[in-house]
Amino acid sequence: MRRRRLKSPRFAITSDSLEALYRSHAPSMAVYIARKTMDAGVAADLTAETFAEAYRNRRQFRGRTHEEAVGWLYGIARHQVSHFVRRDRAEARALERLGIQCPQPADLELERIEEVAGTAELRHRVASHLSDLSHEQQEALRLRILEERSYEEMAARLGINEQAVRARVSRGVRTLALRLQRDRG
């Protein structure tokens, strides 16, 4: 006789459970987002937006454990960061065309997020290691990451095939990641 495997009950995202998740994970999520955006003010805003989005979409959560709920939240956070980056670039271009400069927040909480996230140090380390890469890898990373060019566009611009462009980007990212890991270790 086969035993039926009982599924554990679904972890429900409720106001109370989301509040508990917020208390336990909002600080680390703000640090995570600050490291992605390099801006503590944006990190605070996107952390709040992440939890608001989680509440709005709480019925879509299908996980069964607290850990799955945390993973779901970080997935929402990744989406928020991605959406912000696309929106921010368009907004920055528009503001630049209009000659408008936005004031930067100077709140102690924002400074604390930056301090904990280590964004200033991380910027310095990335810039230092980036300058150690070959010119070809630097150019490939600039086109792909900063200018968000497609591999097809990059291949045409650099006069090489798409596979070579992908290899340059991959090697550059891998080299940077290894050097940053070595710094931390």
Q: Where are the domains of the chain?
A: 15-115, 119-184
Look over the chain and give the mean of its residue pLDDT values, rounded to a whole number.
81
Provide the residue type at 88 as one letter. Answer: D
CATH of domain 119-184: 1.10.10.10
* pLDDT category of residue 156 using cuts at 50, 70 and 90: very high
Report yes or no on whether pTM surpasses 0.85. Answer: no
Rounded to the nearest 10 degrees, how much is the dihedral formed by the CA atoms of 74, 78, 81, 85? 170
pLDDT of residue 110: 65
Q: What is the mean pLDDT of residues 80-89?
A: 83
Q: What is the mean pLDDT of residues 19-25?
A: 86
| pLDDT over 80 at 100, yes or no | no
- The CATH topology of domain 15-115 is Rna Polymerase Sigma Factor; Chain: A (1.10.1740)
Q: What sign for the dihedral angle of Cα 25, 77, 97, 123?
A: positive
pLDDT of residue 76: 93
The tokens describing 135, both together, are 């010119």
